[in-house]
Amino acid sequence: MPPRAGARLRRRIAVPVLALALAVLAGLAVSAVLLAEPSVPRRHGEPTGAADAVGPFGAAPAFASGANPRALVLDGVSGRLEVTPATGPRATADFVPDGDDTPGRVVFGAPGGDGAVPVGCARGDGPSVPCHGVLRLSVPEGTALTVRQTSGEVSLSGVTGDLDLALTSVRFTAVGVRSGRVALDVRSGSADVGFASAPGSLDLDSSSASVALRLPTGGPGEDYAFTSEAVSADVRIALPDRTDADHRVHLHTESASVAVLAAG
């Protein structure tokens, strides 16, 4: 006996309703799993994958990759810059803007083709600009530094990467320097640079400045070949000049005072 029409209608309705109910239950189950998964919070100041890594005052993470930067570039800096060795492979930074007690941000830009990372600073959520204030950097071993500073103070301690410094109206002090190559341009300021190991090459260009270079001497490989060009200047070299030495020191001095002394 064929099924009645009413029974066929009920079966046709029941099948779609059952499928819809199963789909709803499956969706609820997926949502529950997603909600139950613990989210991994991003540390304050940690990069989100953008080219620039922004670190707040005192933040250790500075690079999205966490890799050792090959070089840092600070252009147009004024105020006080302090650079010390880092304890790991990351560069870290603290910054307080000039005339402000509120910590600012240090912005590490994307590395250039030569691997150099530009460093800028910002107030609050403002744009990255040259750092004006107190900037403290800790850099990994071997990190090269390029600094162009127009006023204030620069203090380096224990740095090991190559140095390229152009300083105007700056008081510059450095101790424990182990850099292989140093290029130093001092204008209308002062510099006192103490080396812990003999640099392979040291080029000093000074004008209207007072400079003291303190080089290790007396040990194996601690001999220097000096060349000097001076105009209206006082240049004193208290170390022996070995023309065949591997370590080269070139002095270009104009209306300035330069003393090359034994590191003590």
- 40-60 residue pLDDT tens: 333 333 332 333 444 433 343
Provide the mean pLDDT of the chain: 81
Residues constituting the chain: 264
Q: What pLDDT is attached to residue 125? A: 85
What are 156's two structure tokens? 């380096």
96 plus 180 within the same structural domain = yes
**Is residue 47 included in any domain, yes or no?**
no
21 plus 115 within the same structural domain = no
Largest Cα–Cα separation, the chain: 124
Secondary structure of residue 85 in the 3-state scheme? strand
Secondary structure of residue 18 in the 3-state scheme? helix
Q: Mean pLDDT over residues 114-124, rounded?
A: 90
Among residues 21, 20, 93, 18, the alpha carbon closest in space to that of 55 is found at: 93
**Is residue 120 included in any domain, yes or no?**
yes
Q: What pLDDT is attached to residue 101? A: 77
1 plus 89 within the same structural domain = no
Q: Mean pLDDT over residues 59-82, rounded?
A: 71
**Is residue 201 included in any domain, yes or no?**
yes
**Is residue 10 included in any domain, yes or no?**
yes
For the ranges 63-77, 140-154, 226-240, the lowest mean pLDDT is seen at 63-77
95 plus 192 within the same structural domain = yes
Paired sense of beta strands 163-168 and 181-187, if any: parallel
DSSP H helical ranges for the chain: 5-36
The CATH number of whichever domain residue 115 belongs to comes to: 2.160.20
d(C-alpha 102, C-alpha 47), whole Å? 22
**Is residue 48 included in any domain, yes or no?**
no
Among residues 151, 153, 148, 145, the alpha carbon closest in space to that of 177 is found at: 145
- 138-182 residue pLDDT tens: 999 999 999 999 999 999 999 999 999 999 999 999 999 999 999
94 plus 225 within the same structural domain = yes
**Is residue 44 included in any domain, yes or no?**
no
94 plus 219 within the same structural domain = yes
Task: Annotate 129-195 with DSSP letters as a single string.
Answer: B--EEEEEEEE-TT-EEEEEEEEEEEEEES--S-EEEEEESEEEEEEEE--SEEEEEEESSEEEEEE
32 plus 104 within the same structural domain = no
d(C-alpha 113, C-alpha 134), whole Å? 29
12 plus 142 within the same structural domain = no
Share of the chain above pLDDT 90, in %: 62
35 plus 106 within the same structural domain = no
d(C-alpha 108, C-alpha 140), whole Å? 14
**Is residue 144 included in any domain, yes or no?**
yes
**Is residue 195 included in any domain, yes or no?**
yes
Range of the domain at 25: 1-39
Q: What pLDDT is attached to residue 264? A: 82
3 plus 131 within the same structural domain = no
152 plus 212 within the same structural domain = yes
Helix (H), strand (E) at residue 251: strand 247-254
Q: Mean pLDDT over residues 250-254, rounded?
A: 98
Q: What pLDDT is attached to residue 2? A: 52
Count of C-beta atoms within a 10 Å radius of residue 34: 8
Count of C-beta atoms within a 10 Å radius of residue 21: 10
8 plus 113 within the same structural domain = no
Among residues 78, 118, 83, the alpha carbon closest in space to that of 98 is found at: 78
Count of C-beta atoms within a 10 Å radius of residue 101: 6
Count of C-beta atoms within a 10 Å radius of residue 79: 22
CB 245 within 8 A of CB 219: no
pTM: 0.76
Overall number of domains in the chain: 2
